[in-house]
C-alpha cells in the first residue's frame, strides 16, 4: 500500500505543478500530460507481471498450508477415534466389574 500512496502523491504533485505553476516553470503543461501517462503506463507494465507472480506464489503457499492442515486434521481424527475406542472398552470393563460385584452379593 505504501507504493500506491507514493504514486498517488507523486501524481497529485505532478498535476498540481503543471496546472498551477508559472507557465515558464511547467515542464509538462496542461492538457499535455503525455510524459506522465507514458511513465505511469511503463510502471504498470513492469509491475503487473510481478503482481501476478506474487499472487501465484501466495496461492501455492496457501495450497500447501491447506494440505498440511488436512493431514493434521486426519491424524487428529484417527487419534480421537482410537481414544473413543479405548474409552468404550473401559466402559464395558467397568460395566462388567460393576455387574459382577452385584452378582456376588
- DSSP H helices in the chain: 2-20, 34-104
Distance of CA 38 to the CA centre of its chain: 32
- Rounded to whole angstroms, how far apart are CA atoms 91 and 93? 5
- For 19-34, the pLDDT digits (tens) are 788 888 887 766 666 6
- Judge if pTM exceeds 0.85: no
Q: Per-residue pLDDT for 105 more than 60?
A: no
Cβ 19 vs Cβ 28: under 8 Å: no
Specify the higher pLDDT residue, 102 or 52. Answer: 52
The fraction of the chain above a pLDDT of 90, given in percent, is 40
Can you tell me the mean pLDDT for 76-104?
89
59, 64, 69, 72 alpha-carbon torsion, rounded to 10° = 180
Cβ 33 vs Cβ 18: under 8 Å: yes
Amino acid at each position: 500500500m505504501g507504493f500506491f500512496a507514493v504514486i498517488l502523491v507523486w501524481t497529485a504533485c505532478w498535476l498540481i505543478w503543471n496546472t498551477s505553476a508559472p507557465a515558464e516553470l511547467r515542464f509538462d503543461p496542461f492538457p499535455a500530460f503525455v510524459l506522465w501517462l507514458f511513465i505511469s503506463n511503463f510502471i504498470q507494465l513492469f509491475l503487473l507481471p510481478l503482481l501476478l507472480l506474487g499472487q501465484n506464489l501466495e496461492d501455492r503457499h496457501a495450497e500447501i498450508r491447506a494440505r498440511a492442515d488436512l493431514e493434521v486434521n486426519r491424524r487428529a481424527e484417527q487419534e480421537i477415534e482410537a481414544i473413543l475406542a479405548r474409552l468404550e472398552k473401559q466402559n464395558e470393563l467397568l460395566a462388567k466389574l460393576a455387574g459382577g460385584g452385584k452378582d456376588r452379593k
